[in-house]
Chains A and B, each alone.
Chain A
Amino acid sequence: MSGERLLNFAIRYGFLILLIGMVLFFSFAANGFASPRSAVFVLQSVAITGILALGVTCTLVVDGFDLSIGAVATSALMLSAYSMVILEQSAFTAIVLCLLMGAFVGLVNGILIVKFRVPDLLATLGMMFLLIGLQRIPTQGNSIATGMSLSADSVAEGVFSPAFLWLGRHRFDLVIERLVPVPVVIFLVIALAIWAFLSLTRHGRLMYAIGSNERAAALVGTPVSRYKIAAYMISGVTASIGGILLAARLGRGDIASGTNLLLDSVAAALIGFAVLGAARPNAFGTVVGALFVGILLQGMTMMNAPYYTQDFVKGAVLVVALVFTFYLSSRRGAGGKV
């Protein structure tokens, strides 16, 4: 009996204990790791991938997958730059355009999957390539920055408006002056919202039901198609928020495929399965998963570990998390409170 209780304890708290252990280790081993600023750095470095990961969590909940989030984020990055620098629009217009773009991409993804029966991985993979190409067309593959030549005798006059850059660069005072950056606040707000949506509302509950047994959910009268499309739209919108914050931080429209954003955020969401032994996608787990990777990378960078060891460690964490999720949890038997 005690063996089983130990197993249950390990499944439930193993990952959190590992997280705390890691924080303690780096606090002793890495100079300057244990400080409020350092903590905020970690949050800031995971804010954008974390936001994307929360979106992908929603698609994972309905047993889907969204490979296009990285490309949506970089498309939002380009779109915001394009609308401010070249079209000389306001920050507000740029943000609204990006959010609409994210929602639209999510809608198309959802329709491809639900109505045209394209498997989710393929539909969103196609969308990913489409967006990577599309974001390069308006500028012929160039990055967008103020002063870039538009034609022989005119240059882009628009600038990233201060209000827009505020989103990426402003820091709120919290005990220490200029401590908490805006992206961190937005990340935490979105995390709270997605968590509440998925685990407290009936909509979230129905999405979990769809993910667990789509037919059964349909047979109790759930509008399955609508919920699935909604999940992809949430994913698209959160990805575009991530892209907006990225643009505000970089202050320019960088062309990038966003593949690393995609991989990091998917990793965070999958690691999240293991947190508290949930064995299913969940917002809290995703946030912990993102923090886990963030803390690990921060600590290793501070200890001067070369970049390739970081990918290795990320992979190792993911594998351990997946073992937690699929092996240990299956031994315990499934089911329980969401």
Chain B
Amino acid sequence: MAKALEISGLEKSFGRNHVLRGIDLVLRSREVTVLMGANGAGKSTLVKVICGYHSADGGSLELAGEPFHPQDAADAISKGVVTVHQSIDDGVIPDLDVANNLMLDRLAKPGSGLFVRERKMRREARRIAESMGLHLDVTARVADLEVADRQMIAIARAMVGDPKLLILDEPTSSLSATEADRLFSLIDRLRDQGVAILYISHRMSDIRRIADRIVTMRDGAVSGVFEADNLDYEGAVTAMLGHRMTEVDIDPVAVDTPILQLNDIVLRQGAAPIDASFHDGEVVAITGLLGSGKTRLAEILFGLAEPLAGRLRLDGKPYAPRSAREAVSSGVFMSPKDRAANAVIGAFDIADNMTLPFLEAFSRLSFVKTRAQRNAADGMIDRIGVVCQSAEDGIGTLSGGNQQKAMIARWLLKPCRALLLDEPFQGVDIGARRDIGRHIRQTAKGRTTIVFVAEIDEALEIADRIVILNEGAVAGEHINRDIDLTRMVAEVSGQQDAA
């Protein structure tokens, strides 16, 4: 098979952070290559180099035998490398109709006519849609279509320029199983047309369905390649996670008093109800794929969403928070995921950021007691190890890991009954991750701690107990001691029966 893209010795660093350490990889036409890798393994950086967002520091890229050095994303597209990103609405213009969306790149091209010839454009658009097996009304507004159709249109748009390489970044993350099926048949069709496809996903069901080949990445290097006749899914998962996950020794605590209890909580229509208890001093990790319901569960516990059915109890008493405010005043704290969007106050310094939830405690007659605030922040900075000049540094001057430490420290300033940490290790380097994990475990007494993570190795690093969610229901539960990894991976991907 023809080589579509050949990558050799690719290097990329951001400052001192060596993200890609000599990647060698060949992507072939008529083949779907699945790329797997844990957070921070470097797969998104690799994709960004290929599609022109970043330039490589070293190594070379060859596209169909020619040297390939995209100046920017537009250059990469014109040379035949097209990417469809995870967020669907980045790929379509919701307020325009299907025809306009499909022909958008042509409209944007300099030298195309001044006037839009609607009929010709529709005819052309219909031809493109047909050629991909999409049967829909090209005059429909994209915003009115279903998610899967929108995703297909984003892909169809990408295909207008006859690309050599199509990169799909977690395209099924917001699709249902039947919708995903339609996407897979489109991918089959494109593969048959001779396109090389790089498919990034964690969903085992996706991977089993479409992968011709699996490449795993770990710590900026390719850690495993599994070819067509010998697709070893479990092997791929192990290669992706590596064997370093047992570096942190956890001695699971003995549980006694339950603090937070879930009685018959139903996360989504048709899913089995969840019963669970979270105990004093215990750190529980809840893990699962995107869409497994863990975000939903976190929202319910923090008063941002309501369960379809079931009740919560906190310290034996009914607990039904209707807002974050009520949750906080009941003693349930949450550090949300995606700190930039949900936690960091960019305009504030570290001290203000840390003390934000408890400003009332740091003020007298509403006037903020700056000294008390600084002392508290300084203490926290020392204990959790935030690297900074002083508590008055702007939060924006900190690295991602240190920002995350500050965001978690925010909720450790005051005692609570339940501490919820949603993706606390997102965008955090390994050192900071260990610091945060250690501190969480050290201070775990007197509360129950629930950590929501998508990555199994992160769960293994911090938790006494791991609860696995799949499709809104509990798929497995493990005390963190001599865990059967293969079984756990199977449970995560919803394959426990097969395993």
Contact = CB atoms under 8 A, between A and B. Distances in A.
- Taking the complex as a whole, does A directly touch B, i.e. does some CB pair lie under 8 Å apart? yes
Contact of B325 (A208, A221, A334): A221
A202 B362 contact: yes
Given A202-B363, A202-B368, A216 B394 contact: no
B367 A334 contact: no
Interface in B338-374: 341-349, 352, 356-357, 359-360, 362-363, 366-368
Nearest to B359: A202
Interface stretch (B29-37, B282-290, B327-335, B485-493): B327-335
A209 B363 contact: no
B13 interface: no
A338 B352 contact: yes
B336 interface: yes
Contacts of B329: 221
A337 interface: yes
Interface string A256-278: 00000000000000000000000
A203 B367 CA distance: 8
B352 A221 contact: no
A38 interface: no
A228 interface: no
Interface in A198-232: 200-203, 205-206, 208-209, 211-213, 215-223
Contact of B349 (A203, A209, A219, A335): A335
Nearest to A61: B347
B160 interface: no
Given A202-B362, A209-B348, A335 B356 contact: no
Contact of A221 (B341, B357, B366): B357
Most buried by B among A211, A218, A220: A220
B347 A201 contact: no
B403 to A, nearest CB: 11
Most buried by A among B323, B347, B367: B347
A333 B396 contact: yes
Contacts, number: 96
Nearest to A200: B367
Contacts of A209: 345, 348, 352, 356
Nearest to A223: B325
Contact of B347 (A202, A206, A212, A218): A212
Contacts of B359: 202, 205-206
A221 B356 CA distance: 9
A306 interface: no
A335 B357 contact: no
Interface in B220-261: none
Given A213-B344, A219-B342, A336 B334 contact: no
A202 to B, nearest CB: 4
Most buried by B among A205, A209, A215: A205
Contacts of B410: 220
B95 interface: no
B210 interface: no
A252 interface: no
Contact of A335 (B324, B366, B394): B394
Nearest to A279: B347
B345 A212 contact: yes
Interface string B315-327: 0000000011101
A106 B324 CA distance: 26
A336 B366 CA distance: 21
Interface in B395-434: 395-397, 410
A235 B208 CA distance: 60
B386 to A, nearest CB: 14
Contacts of A338: 347-348, 352
A205 B352 contact: yes
B250 to A, nearest CB: 29
B89 interface: no
A216 B340 CA distance: 9
A334 B356 contact: no
B363 A336 contact: no
B137 interface: no
Given A219-B342, A335-B397, A201 B363 contact: yes
B434 to A, nearest CB: 25
A201 B368 CA distance: 5
Nearest to B368: A202
A157 B352 CA distance: 57
A223 B325 CA distance: 7
B393 interface: yes
Contact of A211 (B302, B324, B347, B356): B347
Contacts of B347: 208, 211-212, 280, 334-335, 338
Given A217-B356, A333-B396, A201 B345 contact: no
A274 B136 CA distance: 53
Contacts of B144: none
B57 interface: no
A217 B362 CA distance: 17
B349 A222 contact: no
Contact of B395 (A196, A206, A280, A335): A335
B146 interface: no
A280 to B, nearest CB: 6
A187 B302 CA distance: 44
A208 B368 CA distance: 14
A217 B363 contact: no
B394 A205 contact: no
Contact of B345 (A216, A223, A333, A337): A216
Nearest to A332: B394
B345 A213 contact: yes
A201 B349 CA distance: 16
Nearest to B347: A212
A211 B348 CA distance: 11
Contacts of A335: 346-349, 393-397
A336 B328 contact: no
B392 interface: yes
Contacts of A333: 394, 396-397
Contacts of B360: 202
B363 to A, nearest CB: 4
Contact of A203 (B302, B344, B366): B366
Given A202-B366, A212-B345, A335-B393, 4 more contacts: A202-B363, A205-B368, A209-B352, A334-B346
6 contacts: A202-B366, A205-B352, A215-B341, A216-B341, A220-B328, A334-B396
User: Lowest 7 A-B CB distances belong to which pairs?
Assistant: A335-B394, A221-B328, A202-B359, A212-B347, A220-B357, A221-B325, A335-B396
Interface of B: 302, 323-325, 327-329, 334, 336, 341-349, 352, 356-357, 359-360, 362-363, 366-368, 392-397, 410
Interface of A: 196, 200-203, 205-206, 208-209, 211-213, 215-223, 280, 333-338
